[in-house]
Amino acid sequence: MRLPAAGLALLLLAVAGCSSTTLNTSPPGGTPEVRPAKPSEPADPERRAKLRLELASAYFGRGQTQTALEEVTQAIAVKPDLPEAYTLLGLIQASQGDAKQAEDSFKRALQIAPGNADTMHNYGWFLCQQRRFPEADAQFQAILAQPRVRDTARTLLAAGVCQARAERWADAEATLSRAFELDPANPSTAFNLSEVLYRRGDYERARFYIKRVNAVPDYTNAQTLWLAARIERRIGNGGGVQEFARQLRDRFPQAPETALLDQGRFDD
């Protein structure tokens, strides 16, 4: 089973002490690398390392992974016991397809700061991407078991999406429902919950959640419209299918979902 990526693209994996990482959407070769002017480095090693770490996070957020790797490596050289640096290093290495080194970096971060929720969250998501679902779930459940979880909704969202990837539909529905209760404005949660309900055959409830997403233009994309069209087809609302199909063709003519629509592959 492949969950559409719209919800996952909205799932930000935070690094403690750094900016959140996001996907780089610039076309290859379309945007040259930009290096912001660096402020003079402070004398204190910890402050100097954290400055490098902030720069690394900013570069990584723009998709400049090699520059981010250089900066985080320098941060570690200045302060080798900074867990946030190893967490970010793991994210960068994972994005480059180096799973072995990424795992070593996450484990090193957890050796320095056991129980760090941000590191556990990112390590759990890494394990989920590697399809090591029981291990990923263990990381998320360990975060949720902590007495003062800073961002329970974020952890529940990641755990629910991972459970869905493992086709644990009932668990995914329960987990994502809890995430929605805590953060009903999060479009990623609503999208993924709608997808899970669709997979479980609960089309009316799936329609409710995807409607919330598509009601906000900034949240609407080819995947949210395609899911809505598939739900309407299951309900038997031909007019709804035609409306979402029209929007999909008009707004996203080159999207893979539009190709599926034109081929009539509603069940893929």
Task: Enumerate domains of the chain plus CATH numbers.
Answer: 17-115 (1.25.40.10)
The answer to whether the CB of 206 falls within 8 A of the CB of 190 is no
Q: Give the tens place of pLDDT for each residue, 12-66.
A: 344 333 333 322 323 334 444 445 545 555 558 889 999 999 999 999 999 999 9
Give the count of beta carbons closer than 10 Å to the beta carbon of residue 151.
Answer: 15
The answer to whether the CB of 193 falls within 8 A of the CB of 182 is no
Q: Give the tens place of pLDDT for each residue, 81-103.
A: 999 999 999 999 999 999 999 99
**Could you tell me the pTM of the whole model?**
0.82
**CA-to-CA distance for 50 and 47, rounded, in angstroms?**
5
